[in-house]
Amino acid sequence: MSRNWWVVFAAFLCLVFMFGVPTFMMPVLYSPIIDEFGWSRTQVTLIATMKFGAGAVIGLLFGVLLDRMSIRKIVLFSGTLSGLAMIAFLAIHSLTMFYIIGLFLGLGAVGVMISMKVLVSRRFREQQGFAVGAALLGTSVGGTVTPTLARYLIETFGWREAAALMSAGIWLVALPVFLWIVKDEDFEEAEDLSGESRDFSTVLRQRSFWMLAAAVLLIGFVDQAMSQHFVLYLDKDVGLGLAVAAGAASAAALISIFGKVGFGWVYDKLSTKGVMICYVLMALAVLIAIPVQGSFLLGALVLTRGLAHGGAIVDIPVLSKHCFGPNMLGRTIGVLTACVTVGFAAGPPVVGYIYDTQGTYRYAFMLLAVMSLAAGAAVLGARPVYWEENIRKPAGGRSAGASEPAPAP
């Protein structure tokens, strides 16, 4: 296996334990937390706002740091922060403490996600989407295992202890393996980045950038709103019970494996048009959720939700490179990740508020479907210049699937 794919493997493990597990354990914790404290759905899901709000702010900083600092230091910091935040669930006895922990979870999760996207994107050329999708399978594996594992640990030990125990993968697997495989030179690029500050200012003046910023913000709003309310909706509103709801969440995460790799391949071939297809599928998944009752519609919901969620996770690194090239990936991915994270932060409490005031998710889901379609229209307003000129028709007879030039030792 080539050096590039070992780097992908290390990124995969980081995303399993540092991003996937902390993210997918939260929706399963909501029900027992509500039962213990009597907090509303708006109050409970507001932790997602705290988590992703912090991530949106820090994402801008991480984009700059990734161009100037060792990736090993950033990942060590982010992973340690996530692990300590999960252990800190043992101390939750108030809403304030609940939100503070959410802030630290957001800082750690976003730092890891941006680092892995930039690291893998810089190692690959024509196969970038596929490679990023392969690394991001880590979030799917985390999402597949975590809901069922969290439910078992909650029933056995309690929800506080469950969150703390699930940090073990960070300390015992993710950090040791990443630091062993990934060296500082794996993050460096052959290209001269000395003019990046000037070039990035030109990116900010392009219409394509702001169309992409709007698109990912909208789809982030939809994606996290569905993720955070998925188990609650199926458990309490559809009446399937926590075991079936958690199983459906695990199944959707499993299917997202195919969404990430499949849509990664589609993005390599179709670029922005492929991303638009993913966003339309997201709208379809939301609409199916409205009448879901029997096993057929539940299966259709899990299938479409899983595929669309998988594709929506892979989009930012591909859009960044296809539209603006490899020389500005740190800041471009950082800023676009900040935009999508604003959507992540806003979606869950807004949907929670609509539910609390209307007593139903129907109106919220209709809003989410419209926002998904608007995101699809916005992404078509961005032109993938680098992809058109360098990847779709590689210059110099370069074969498809080649990776980026290896860094000089």
- Helix (H) or strand (E) holding 290, with range, is none
The reported pLDDT for the residue numbered 266 is: 96
Find the angle CA(311)-CA(314)-CA(318) to the nearest 5 degrees. 120
The reported pLDDT for the residue numbered 199 is: 65
Task: Kindly state the tokens that stand for 345.
Answer: 């932060």
Q: Assess whether pLDDT exceeds 60 at residue 136.
A: yes
List C-alpha distances in Å: 16 to 141, 225, 291, 402: 6, 21, 32, 27
The reported pLDDT for the residue numbered 184 is: 66
Q: Assess whether pLDDT exceeds 70 at residue 357.
A: yes
Q: Which residue has the tokens 């597990």?
A: 21
Q: Assess whether pLDDT exceeds 50 at residue 254.
A: yes
Average predicted confidence (pLDDT) for the chain? 87
List C-alpha distances in Å: 298 to 148, 250, 252, 259, 369: 18, 13, 11, 18, 18
pLDDT digits (tens, 9 = 90+) for 147-184: 889 999 999 999 999 999 999 999 999 999 999 999 86
Residue 54: band (very low, low, confident or very high) from pLDDT cuts 50, 70, 90: confident
List C-alpha distances in Å: 390 to 65, 279, 381, 387: 27, 25, 20, 5
Could you confirm whether domain 3-187+195-395 is CATH 1.20.1250.20? yes
The reported pLDDT for the residue numbered 401 is: 43
Q: Assess whether pLDDT exceeds 70 at residue 188.
A: no
Where b means 16+ CB within 10 Å and e means fewer, 2-36 reads: eebeebbbbbbbbbbbbbbbbbbbbbbbbbbbbee
The reported pLDDT for the residue numbered 393 is: 64
The reported pLDDT for the residue numbered 408 is: 36
Calpha distance 87→22 (Å, rounded): 11
Q: Output the CA torsion 121→368→249→243 (10° steps).
A: 160
Q: Which residue has the higher pLDDT, 280 or 30?
A: 280
Q: Which residue has the higher pLDDT, 84 or 185?
A: 84
3-class secondary-structure state, position 238: coil
The secondary structure of residue 68, as a DSSP letter, is: T
Domains in the chain: boundaries: 3-187+195-395
pLDDT digits (tens, 9 = 90+) for 18-31: 999 998 898 889 98
The reported pLDDT for the residue numbered 176 is: 96
The torsion angles phi and psi of 39, rounded to 5 degrees, stand at: -70, 155
The reported pLDDT for the residue numbered 61 is: 79
Residues 309/252, Cβ–Cβ less than 8 Å: yes
Q: Assess whether pLDDT exceeds 80 at residue 257.
A: yes
pLDDT digits (tens, 9 = 90+) for 87-123: 999 999 999 999 999 889 888 988 898 899 988 988 8
**Residue type present at position 369:** A
Residue 292: band (very low, low, confident or very high) from pLDDT cuts 50, 70, 90: confident
- Which whole number is the average pLDDT over 57-71? 74
The reported pLDDT for the residue numbered 264 is: 95
Q: Assess whether pLDDT exceeds 50 at residue 197.
A: no
Q: Assess whether pLDDT exceeds 50 at residue 396.
A: no
Q: How many CB atoms lie within 10 A of CB 73?
A: 11
